[in-house]
Structure 1
Amino acid sequence: QDLDAEEKENSLCNHSERLAVAFGILNLDGASSITVFKNLRICGDCHNAIKYLAKIVGVQIIVRDSLRFHHFKDGLCSCRDFW
């Protein structure tokens, strides 16, 4: 599939894990972590975005993809960016 840069950028905004994390941030209500379960692998763009969101918002974000748990905290991931 051949997408131009704008189409690619728009499609990345609709990845389920990114939307789930955004929903979790909007509904934190004093919680210290957000947990997301996904049946496919997380893409590199979402992985980086969630790392930065965890640092900016100051919460732990846990994403379970098809292979492993990713624990995002303070801008770092437990997989050390190897997934």
Structure 2
Amino acid sequence: MRTGNEPVTARSPLRLRFWLSVWGLVWATAGTVLFSLAGRPGWAAACGAVAVLATVDMAVVVHHIHQGPHYQPGRNIPPYEPPRR
């Protein structure tokens, strides 16, 4: 159903974003460990930075999910009109 105001009422797939953050965290952590063992401190630091970013993103996503259905509506909640200013 298109209403013409989709950018304003767009819904974020937070659970998908959460699992992508988990995937990134796993690979970045593995990269940090493996590059550290291989003696590549620059690459280990880069993977460590990605791991920190993935962790922060996961925390933000979990916070938004816990805020409730207004921020993460289900399929049974229709799109709502943006508030009038």
- TM-score, length-normalised on structure 1? 0.26
Q: Which is strand-richer, 1 or 2?
A: 1
Q: Which is helix-richer, 1 or 2?
A: 2
Q: Name the structure, 1 or 2, with higher relative contact order (CA <8 Å, separation 6+).
A: 2
Q: Which structure has the bigger radius of gyration? A: 2
- TM-score, length-normalised on structure 2? 0.26
